[in-house]
């Protein structure tokens, strides 16, 4: 336990004093504030139409024609959180090996898992602090801009959003640490993480489409066929942490989650019809619970593989 | 009374993909001794050391350090063992002091003890003035001394040094060796030092083990090994002549105390039990030879080691 806390403390200090952290922070903050500026124009226009969740729209609304796939949210999902996770973990283990500090570290009386866990925890705390402060920043600036304070449900939903986002970041951190154990060269492990990132974002949806079309060809038209095709696509995509995260934050941040008709159907919570009224908070929670569990499970898989590889490994340098 | 065994291996074997690199090694190191672990590149020194520390698992055999099994209880071994790896590295962005403080914390040292302990360690190796300097700015020699300080921070009973003098200039080597010797004496620390620089090992180690292709070729006191290996021919005189004739060789062979005479080109290598340079010079002149130069060296471990190594 002491070993874990010592590694954690050192890594946390490293993370916070690194250029890496500053650059990531600046990048995400600028993106957030920039998106916010564009959003606020729309929200003010919409506010007149009277909506229950005006404040949340700060984090979602970008364009009226895209109610579900909203800009800031998607930027969070698509870009920044994975980048932050990867940037904090891609050289965690192999850099120490290459610089010869690993054998010194592991010749001290600590368990090997303390090294992985300490680094992981430090990364998660860094992500948590970064994401939280940026959301607060965006919220604060937004508050000044639109002058409508969030109601209590909105505050809870924002906190949920933070929690899910931190777990999502933790997955990418876990994955990049895994690669840093497997690959000796830092450039290779970084590339491997980025390759997974690109695959999940760009190729996974295509792959899901191909699998679905193979299993249920869309030749004979009909609602049934179409729906089961979509169902398979959705099911395939459920293994992607990106999709899990996107769906989870849509449910949390866009209570009138109309684009989630498919998900809701698959999860057996509601019909496949569009939902006319916003979901209540506990309904939302019920809906995102499996997503959270899946995200955590995926992270756990990364860890299990990391342990297996790292625990008995020979440390020459 | 026999001293306590600090390190003991029984038929220690390590194979990588069926290739045996450490082969039934039996190593015994007693408390308080400085043991030299010798062998050429690829002999299996580092592999053995890694097994002593539990940093890699033996294929078969037993390793015990202070009675603890390194494979089963690596943490107990690591608590009492200091290790300087072959290629030692530090966190370059941190200062020397911060690096050592991290090691101290990993060893559960109480927070209030750390500054003093770190300061003392840096003092011992003569780096107190560089305590606040980032390790990235250190020279190779400074890093090596820092590695010794890093080891001292945890006050180990045993220190295992894997080629501590590699890539150090001759003067630096002597400093480091003297430092190791001093530390061993002051802290009554058992030291195992691996090297292929034999003259260096000879400088500080009383007992050595010579390993070749994973097997222990010879083990014992330096003096004893020399006698066994050389049959008393402690000195070697290297003579350069304008021309080597059979007559001169014969004359030298007849000198009392000459063990062997070896010819290589216009050089004569004469093994003898004592410094026989005056007698040899006389013999050459008597044989009408013209002496260009003559050098004497005392037989070093190198020669013992060469002898054993050729037997593999
Ligand atoms: N991971 C590995 N897989 C396969 N063979 C290995 C591995 N590590 C080391 N070896 C082999 O084991 C042998 C012994 O290596 P070791 O590093 O112990 O030698 P050494 O005595 O320390 O040599 P040096 O003086 O060069 O440091 C070498 O022939 C090396 O090729
Ligand atoms: Mg070696």
Task: Render pLDDT for B220-268 as a digit per residue (tens, 0 to 9).
Answer: 887 777 767 665 566 778 888 888 888 888 888 888 888 888 887 778 8
Torsion of CA B218, B222, B223, B229, to 10 degrees: 30
- Give chain A's mean pLDDT: 80
User: What's the rounded mean pLDDT across residues B198-208?
Assistant: 84
Residue B60: CB partners within 8 Å, gap ≥ 6?
Answer: B11, B12, B13
The C-alpha of B90 sits at a distance from chain A's nearest C-alpha, in angstroms, of 5
Instruction: Indicate whether A18 belongs to any domain.
Output: yes
Nearest to A109 among B78, B85, B89 (CB): B78
Contacts of B17 in chain A (CB under 8 A): none
Three-state DSSP state, B82 = strand
Quick one: which atom of ligand 1 is closest to the CA of B44? Answer: 18
In this structure, which residues have their CB less than 5 angstroms from ion ligand 2? B 45-46, 86
pLDDT in tens, A204-223: 888 888 888 887 777 766 77
Instruction: Indicate whether A283 belongs to any domain.
Output: yes
Q: Do A111 and B75 touch (CB under 8 A)?
A: yes
- Give the whole-angstrom CA distance, residue A284 versus residue A197: 27
**Do B178 and B8 contact (CB within 8 A), yes or no?**
no
Most distant CA pair in chain B, distance: 77
**Whose Cα sits closest to atom 12 in ligand 1?**
B21
The number of distinct structural domains making up chain A is 1
User: What's the rounded mean pLDDT across residues A176-194?
Assistant: 95
The C-alpha of A134 sits at a distance from chain B's nearest C-alpha, in angstroms, of 27
Helix (H) or strand (E) holding B37: strand B34-38
Q: Do B107 and A109 touch (CB under 8 A)?
A: yes
At residue A42, the pLDDT reads 64
Instruction: Indicate whether A280 belongs to any domain.
Output: yes
- Give the whole-angstrom CA distance, residue B149 versus residue A31: 47
Buried b (16+ CB within 10 A) or exposed e, B41-51: eebbbbbbbbb
Instruction: Indicate whether A21 belongs to any domain.
Output: yes
| ipTM greater than 0.85 | no
At residue A62, the pLDDT reads 41
Structural domain for A100, as ranges: 2-312
Assign 3-class secondary structure to B172-184.
Answer: HHHHHHHHHHHHH
User: What's the rounded mean pLDDT across residues B40-57?
Assistant: 92
pLDDT in tens, A67-88: 333 556 566 666 788 999 999 9
At residue A265, the pLDDT reads 39
- At A278, the pLDDT band (50, 70, 90 cuts) reads low
User: Higher confidence at residue A69 or residue B189?
Assistant: B189
**Do B174 and B269 contact (CB within 8 A), yes or no?**
no
Q: Do B89 and A314 touch (CB under 8 A)?
A: no
Three-state DSSP state, B256 = coil
Instruction: Indicate whether A184 belongs to any domain.
Output: yes
Residue B307: CB partners within 8 Å, gap ≥ 6?
Answer: B229, B230
pTM above the 0.90 mark? no
Report the separation in Å between the CA atom of B35 and the middle of ligand 2, taken as the mean of its atom positions: 16
Q: Which residues have CB under 6 Å of ligand 1?
A: B 16, 21, 39, 41-47, 86, 196
Instruction: Indicate whether A317 belongs to any domain.
Output: no
**Whose Cα sits closest to atom 4 in ligand 1?**
B16
At residue A82, the pLDDT reads 92
**Do B37 and B212 contact (CB within 8 A), yes or no?**
no
At residue A272, the pLDDT reads 36
Instruction: Indicate whether A55 belongs to any domain.
Output: yes
């Amino acid at each position: 336990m002491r070993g874990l806390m010592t590694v954690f403390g050192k890594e946390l200090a490293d993370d916070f004093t690194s250029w890496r952290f500053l650059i990531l922070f600046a990048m995400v903050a600028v993106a957030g504030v920039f998106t916010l500026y564009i959003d606020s124009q729309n929200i003010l226009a919409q506010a007149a139409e009277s909506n229950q969740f005006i404040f949340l729209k700060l984090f979602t609304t970008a364009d009226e024609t895209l109610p579900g796939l909203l800009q800031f949210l998607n930027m969070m999902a698509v870009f920044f959180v994975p980048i932050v996770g990867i940037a904090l973990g891609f050289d965690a283990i192999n850099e120490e090996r290459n610089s010869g500090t690993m054998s010194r570290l592991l010749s001290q009386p600590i368990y090997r898992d303390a090294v992985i866990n300490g680094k992981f925890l430090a990364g998660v705390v860094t992500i948590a602090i970064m994401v939280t402060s940026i959301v607060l920043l965006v919220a604060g600036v937004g508050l000044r801009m639109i002058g409508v304070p969030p109601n209590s449900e909105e505050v809870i939903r924002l906190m949920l959003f933070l929690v899910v986002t931190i777990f999502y970041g933790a997955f990418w951190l876990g994955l990049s640490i895994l690669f840093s154990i497997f690959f000796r060269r830092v450039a290779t492990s970084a590339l491997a993480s980025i390759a997974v990132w690109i695959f999940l974002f760009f190729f996974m949806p295509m792959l899901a489409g191909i699998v679905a079309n193979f299993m249920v060809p869309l030749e004979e038209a009909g609602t049934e066929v179409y729906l089961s095709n979509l169902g398979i696509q959705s099911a395939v995509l459920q293994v992607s942490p990106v999709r899990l995260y996107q769906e989870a934050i849509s449910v949390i941040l866009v209570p009138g989650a109309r684009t989630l008709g498919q998900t809701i159907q698959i999860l057996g919570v509601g019909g496949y019809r569009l939902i006319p009224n916003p979901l209540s908070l506990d309904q939302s929670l019920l809906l995102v619970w499996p997503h959270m569990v899946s995200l955590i499970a995926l992270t756990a898989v990364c860890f299990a593989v990391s342990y297996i590889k790292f625990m008995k490994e020979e440390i020459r340098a | 009374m026999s001293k306590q065994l600090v390190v003991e291996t029984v038929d220690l074997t390590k194979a990588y993909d069926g290739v045996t690199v450490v082969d039934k090694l039996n190593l015994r190191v007693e408390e308080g001794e400085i043991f030299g672990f010798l062998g050429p590149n690829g002999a299996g020194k580092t592999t053995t050391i890694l097994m002593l520390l539990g940093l890699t698992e033996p294929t078969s055999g037993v390793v015990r350090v202070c009675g603890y099994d390194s494979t089963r209880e690596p943490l107990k071994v690591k608590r009492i063992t200091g290790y300087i790896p072959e290629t030692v590295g530090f966190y370059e962005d941190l200062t020397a002091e911060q690096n050592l403080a991290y090691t101290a914390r990993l060893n559960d040292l109480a927070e209030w003890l750390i500054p003093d302990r770190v300061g003392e360690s840096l003092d011992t190796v003569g780096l107190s003035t560089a305590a606040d300097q980032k390790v990235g700015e250190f020279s190779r020699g400074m890093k090596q001394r820092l590695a010794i300080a890093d080891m001292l921070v945890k006050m180990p009973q045993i220190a295992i040094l894997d080629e501590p003098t590699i890539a150090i200039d001759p003067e630096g080597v002597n400093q480091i060796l003297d430092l190791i010797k001093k530390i061993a004496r002051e802290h009554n620390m058992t030291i195992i030092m691996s090297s292929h620089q034999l003259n260096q090992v000879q400088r500080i180690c009383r007992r050595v083990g010579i390993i070749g292709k994973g097997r222990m070729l010879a083990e014992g006191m330096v003096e004893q090994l020399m006698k066994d290996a050389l049959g008393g021919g402690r000195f070697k005189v290297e003579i350069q002549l304008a021309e080597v004739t059979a007559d001169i060789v014969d004359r030298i062979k007849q000198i009392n105390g000459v063990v062997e005479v070896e010819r290589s080109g216009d050089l004569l290598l004469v093994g003898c039990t004592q410094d026989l340079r005056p007698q040899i010079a006389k013999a050459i002149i008597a044989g009408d030879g013209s002496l260009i130069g003559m050098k004497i060296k005392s037989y070093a471990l190198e020669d013992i080691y060469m002898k054993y190594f050729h037997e593999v």
